[in-house]
Structure 1
Amino acid sequence: MTSIPFDALACPLDHSPLMRSDGAWRCEHGHSFDIARQGYVHLLPVQKKRSLDPGDSKPMVAARRRFLEAGYYAGIAEAVSQRAMAALNPMITSGNTVPAVLDAGCGEGYYLRHLNAAAGELPLSMIGVDISKWAVLSAAKREKACCWVVGSNANLPVLPASLDLILCLFGFPSYGEFARVLKPGGRILQVDAGADHLKELREIIYPELKPPRERDSGAPEGFEERASSTLRSTAVLGGQYPIADLLAMTPHLYRGSAEGLERAATLSTLTVTVDVVIREFERQLDRV
């Protein structure tokens, strides 16, 4: 495996380059950020936090890890890795650069680990960013070939024009920031829930389902849409624990009715539809 951690980090306080030295990342203006013993770095300033412990909680991260490791979303990971490698292979084979990939909202690192495995001996430089310290801690424990950072998509601690590909899976895209940190011609691979995603679970926990929101058919400013596809499958959740984990890793746990959550807790099996939309955007050359 020839993947290497991404190192084009920017100081979250003054945006100058960070250099790694003596167990910390430091900028020329004296700001210093310690590297945790697990290998990650916290680059989310206190003044940028909206709560004391933003993002997914420790139990939510544990639930997501168990659910994903059980393989229920393996088809999504495979499809994303295939699309990512198709975009990155021309750069790798040219031999001029090691492509840099960022997972924006990386969670516990499942999709970035899958991409790393798909790359095999091909070189990649990878970074995962998430606002949850519990998610980043879990990711750093599992994979040492990536740079793991506690940070925000709204203020990515990354130098301008330093990335070739951004993954944003079930996350919160910040297209202005993505345009800033992507090289011209760089790509975004974005995965969003489709209209029928987890429909069977939602039918149980909500009194009625809201009509699906219409998807924006246009590309974000500064980008051109290169491809769009839908991935559909079914997942059979056998036992109360996978069902509980799926609920715990989604906002539905907090939005569902009390009666609906009680009904879900009594289930011994549930078959759900996995329905996602995968879109690929390319950063245009005239973006400044």
Structure 2
Amino acid sequence: MGALSKRAAGAALMNNNLSLFACPICQESMTIQEQGRMVCSANHSFDIAKQGYINMLTHGAASKYSKELFESRKTVIDSGIYDEIEDKIIELIAPAQTVLDTGCGEGSHLARIMAEKKGIGVGIDIAKEGILAASRHYPEQIWCVGDLAKSPFAKSSFDAILNILSPANYEEFKRLLTPGGCVVKVVPQSRYLHELRAQLYADSDKESYSNDQIVARFKESFMEVNVKRVTYTTPLTTELIPELLEMTPMGWHKKEGAAIRLNEITIDVDILVGRV
């Protein structure tokens, strides 16, 4: 028998983890039908794409993130400049068997993290281009186009929820956590990409950055919070500079013709771990 199609392989993976899902319209449980769609008991239906991901958006959604941005993001992450952050996350979520990455983009962080541990990873993003790339590169995990404001997941489904340099929905995170589970949020610290910030925002108030408000809101949302700062400076090849500019919103402010010269970049983040 030949290899499964990407749609069939994705459907099989979802079927093996069906208890994670709930209808985003009515929150009823789901089944997988042979035609390659996920259906709830009220007959709300969501197609599994030929690339192996599922689209569970209940409304139209425009994303400002392009295919090129996600390609650049994968190139930058694959270069290893975020390895120390990923290693710390792997350590923090070691016992977790079900891991949800919210705002997963093209899925590189989740795929690299799950490659080092047992369990199943699920990535969700409102940007279809990101999920298309994720399903193409990382078929071992489940990928979902969706919006956590209309969640396609069942209550108490995930042992760990990742939120890496992405907007958060804390009330939904808490609903989705299993008892004893944790939310791991990565937020920039003051020197994150500061070499780039210094050139793009020279002599403006954007040259400095504070995450105080984000951290305060996280602490308000969870009963138990631990904060771990991870900071290091790593070499940056010339070839990675345009990719970095493409993937970060900072790069979108680059003036036409302005030259950016970097031979190293600082990664400086807080890793927030919250439990309910």
Matches within 5 A, 1:3-82: 6-7=17-18, 8-22=20-34, 23-47=36-60, 49=61, 51=62, 54-82=63-91
Q: CA deviation at 1:25?
A: 0.6
Question: Structure 1 residue aligned with 2:136, among 141, 146, 155?
Answer: 141
Residue 198 (structure 2) pairs with residue 203 (structure 1)? yes
TM-score of the aligned structures, taking structure 2 as reference length? 0.86
Q: Name the residue aligned to 2:188.
A: 193
Matches within 5 A, 1:124-273: 124-207=119-202, 208-210=204-206, 211-215=208-212, 216-217=215-216, 219-221=218-220, 223-239=222-238, 241-254=239-252, 256-258=253-255, 262-264=258-260, 267=261, 269-273=262-266
Does the 8 Å contact 2:233/2:265 carry over to 1? yes
TM-score of the aligned structures, taking structure 1 as reference length? 0.82
> Which stretches in structure 1 are left out of the alignment for 5+ residues?
89-98, 284-288
Does the 8 Å contact 2:158/2:178 carry over to 1? yes
Q: Deviations over 1:88-117 (max 9, x none)?
A: 3xxxxxxxxxx2110011111112112222
> Per the alignment, in what secondary structure is the counterpart of residue 263 of structure 1?
coil
For the residues of structure 2 that align with 1:134 and 1:224, how far apart are their CA atoms?
Answer: 36
Taking structure 1 as reference, are residues 133 and 218 closer, same or farther at Cα in structure 2, changes over 3 Å only? closer
Q: Deviations over 1:144-180 (max 9, x none)?
A: 2211100123333101111111011001110011111
Taking structure 1 as reference, are residues 18 and 243 closer, same or farther at Cα in structure 2, changes over 3 Å only? same
Q: Which amino acid aligns with 1:236?
A: P
For the residues of structure 2 that align with 1:56 and 1:157, how far apart are their CA atoms?
Answer: 22
> Which stretches in structure 2 are left out of the alignment for 5+ residues?
1-12
For the residues of structure 2 that align with 1:188 and 1:46, how far apart are their CA atoms?
Answer: 27
For the residues of structure 2 that align with 1:59 and 1:45, how far apart are their CA atoms?
Answer: 26
Which stretches of structure 1, 4 residues or more, deviate above 6 A after TM superposition? Answer: none
For the residues of structure 2 that align with 1:220 and 1:155, how far apart are their CA atoms?
Answer: 24
> Per the alignment, in what secondary structure is the counterpart of residue 188 of structure 1?
strand
Specify which structure has the bigger relative contact order, considering alpha-carbon pairs within 8 angstroms and separated by 6 or more residues: 1
> Per the alignment, in what secondary structure is the counterpart of residue 154 of structure 1?
coil
Does the 8 Å contact 1:40/1:149 carry over to 2? yes
> Per the alignment, in what secondary structure is the counterpart of residue 137 of structure 1?
helix
Alpha-carbon RMSD: 1.9
Q: Name the residue aligned to 2:272.
A: 279
Q: Name the residue aligned to 2:93.
A: 84
Taking structure 1 as reference, are residues 105 and 219 closer, same or farther at Cα in structure 2, changes over 3 Å only? closer
Q: Deviations over 1:236-268 (max 9, x none)?
A: 2221x31111111111122x2526x7122xx3x
In the alignment of these two chains, the number of paired residues is: 256
